[in-house]
Amino acid sequence: MKAFAYVNPSNESDALAALRSGGIVRPLGGGQDLLARLKDYLDEPDRLVSVKGALNREAAATGDGGLRIGAAMRLFEVAEHPEILKRYPALAEAASTVGSPQIRHQGTVGGNLNQRPRCWYFRQEEFVCFKKGGNRCFAADGENQYHSIFGNDGPSKIVHPSSLAVPLVAYGARFRLASASGEREVAAADYFTLPSMQTVQKENVLADDELLTHVILPAPGNVRSGHYEVRFKESRDWPMAFATVVLAMNGPSIDSARVVLGAVAPVPWRAEDAERVLRGRLLDDAAADVAGEAAVRGAKPLAQNAYKIRITRTAVKRAVLAAAGRSV
């Protein structure tokens, strides 16, 4: 990797000031993605700002019954946190499956949400794609078996790599973003951006001098949630497709639903058709089947990934069954 300077601020404002210190500056959390990218010359910053000691790493109750999670909280802590396990179990489950035990001990919430794509063209220096300022997406007509089946009309065919993003969108989380000039809150669903020619070099709305400092979860209400990841390898692999469903219940029937898909689109993908068909239904096997069918309506597979439609349908179906307390 290219040489760089390193600063280790102890608080948020110092960290935010350091992001404006000139040149290319990157925040360093657990480093589980950034260091790999530096080694592969995919990113060549002038300065790294360690934010692990500057950002909050706790989960604290909010006044309105929600939960506020510091971006420096580590993934294993999310997976084991009693309040998260009890009230946002899909989030805990997603955190528990990321990478490996070692990665979960170092990786942070902020890092998981802001990691760059795992596309195997993006990850090889030889391919100067749209995301690196080039003029093509090599996956569009290349080896695209692991790429998007939704939201892929834009220039880049990546899938978003974050596991936590999907349940966070499903639970209606908001993100606090801060810069030296101020702070703002963005709904998780609006944080991630579909690629356009203008935005293709990033996957979200975070500015270069901003940090994602907190994840704010609303009070869950009377919900049941389910999460299912289709993984080829059980050990340290990326899911081929996954889904979180959050069902607001009215007795045995579903009042409203959030169905969010992962690893199928450049952003966490809301399956609104599935949400619609679940509304007002009893939570049963048939609901799981129709939700799975509806979730993949409108999918546009690339040349080599039509199989992901079936896998996605399965993930949604099994996530609904999990919400119903049933194993597959």
Partner 1 sequence: MIVEVEVNGKRHRRDLEPRLLLSDFLRQDLQLTGTHVGCEHGVCGACTVLFDGEPARSCLMLAVQADGHKVGTVEGLAVVNALSPLQAAFREAHALQCGFCTPGFLMTLTAFLRDTPNPGPLEIREALSGNLCRCTGYQHIVEAVSRACGHPRP
Partner 2 sequence: MQQPTPQPTPQPTENATKYAWTVPPDRTRVIGTSVPRVDGPDKVSGRAKYTYDIARPGMLHARAVRSPHPHARIVSIDFSAAKAAPGVRGVLTWKDPGTEVMYQGDVVAAVAADTEPQARDAARLVRVEYEVLPFFSSEAAAMQPDAPVVFPNGNTQAGQTQETGDLAAGFAAAAHTLEATYSTHVITHVCLESHCSVCEWNGDQLTAWVSTQGVHASKQQIAGALKIDQANVRVICQYMGGGFGSKVTADAPIIIPARMSKDLGAPVKMVLDRKEEHLDSGNRPSAFARVRAGVSADGMLTAFDGVTWGTGGAGQGANFPLPYIYQFPNRRRAHTNVYINTGLQRPMRAPGHPQGCFVTEMLLDELADLVGLDPLELRLKNLPPTAPDAMWAEYYRMGAKQFGWDRRHPTGDRNPGPIKTGMGVSANQWGGGGRAGAAHVRIQPDGSVLVQCGSQDLGTGTRTLLPVIAGETLGAPLDAIRAEIGDSNLPFAGVSGGSTATPGIAPAIRIASGRARDALFARVASALDAAPEELAAGDGRIFVKAAPERSLAWRAACKLLGQEPITADGQWEPGFSSVNTSGVQFAEVTVDTETGIVKVTRILAIQDCGLVLDRLLAESQVYGGVIGSLNFALFEDRTLDPRTGVMLNPNMEHYLLAGMTDVPQIDVVLMDMPERGVIGIGEPPTVSTASAIANAVRNALGVPIRSLPLHPHRVLAAIDAHTNSGGGPA
* Sites of contact with partner 1 (CB under 8 A): 1-6, 8, 28, 31-32, 35-36, 38-39, 48, 50, 52, 99-103, 105-106, 234-236
| φ, ψ of residue 2 in degrees (nearest 5) | -70, 150
Of the candidates 236, 112, 127, the residue with the CA atom closest to the CA atom of residue 165 = 112
Distance (Å, whole) CA 265 – CA 90: 19
- DSSP secondary structure letter of residue 264: S
Residue 121, binding choice from partner 2, partner 1, none, Cβ under 5 to 8 Å by partner class: partner 2
The contacts of residue 184 (CB under 8 Å, 6+ apart) are 176, 177
Could you say which of 105, 123, 132, 279 contacts partner 2 (CB under 8 A)? 123
Q: Which is nearer to partner 1, 198 or 235 (CB)?
A: 235
Residue 15 near residue 27, CB atoms below 8 Å: yes
Among positions 8, 106, 145, 199, the unique one binding partner 2 when judged by CB under 8 A: 145
- How far apart CA 49 and CA 133 sit, in angstroms, is 24
Does 163 sit near partner 2 (CB under 8 A)? Answer: no
Binders of partner 2 in range 277-316 (CB under 8 A): 304-305, 307-308, 310-311, 313-314
Cβ proximity to partner 1: between 164 and 316 the closer is 164
Which element (helix H / strand E) includes 295? Answer: helix 285-295
- The stretch near partner 2 (CB under 8 A) out of 23-31, 48-56, 227-235, 271-279 is 227-235
- Rounded to a whole number of angstroms, the minimum distance from the CB of residue 327 to partner 1 is 16
Alpha carbon distance, N-terminus to C-terminus of the chain: 45
Closest CB 169 distance from partner 2, rounded Å: 23
Which of partner 2, partner 1, none does 28 bind, CB closer than 5 to 8 A by kind?
partner 1
Q: Of the two residues 3 and 198, which places its CB atom closer to partner 2 in the complex?
A: 3
> What is the number of other CB atoms lying within 10 angstroms of the CB of residue 21?
13
Q: Among partner 1, partner 2, none, what does residue 312 contact (CB within 5–8 Å per kind)? A: none
Number of helical (H) and strand (E) elements in the chain, helices listed first? 12, 12
Closer Cβ to partner 2, 155 or 292, answer by number: 292
Among 118, 132, 276, 326, binds partner 2 (CB under 8 A): 118
Token pair listed for 126: 């030889």
- 253/314 with CB nearer partner 2: 314
Which residues lie below 8 Å from residue 152, measured CB to CB, with a gap of 6+? 265, 266, 300, 302
Residue 35 touches which member of partner 1, partner 2, none, C-beta under 5-8 Å by kind: partner 1
Give, for 67, the enclosing helix (H) or strand (E).
Answer: strand 67-70
Nearest to 46 by CA among 67, 25, 65: 25
Task: Collapse the DSSP code of 26 into the 3-class scheme (helix H, G, I; strand E, B; otherwise coil) and give the result.
Answer: strand
**Residue ranges in contact with partner 2 by CB under 8 A:** 1-3, 41, 118, 120-121, 123-124, 126-127, 138, 141-143, 145, 230-237, 240, 304-305, 307-308, 310-311, 313-314, 317, 328
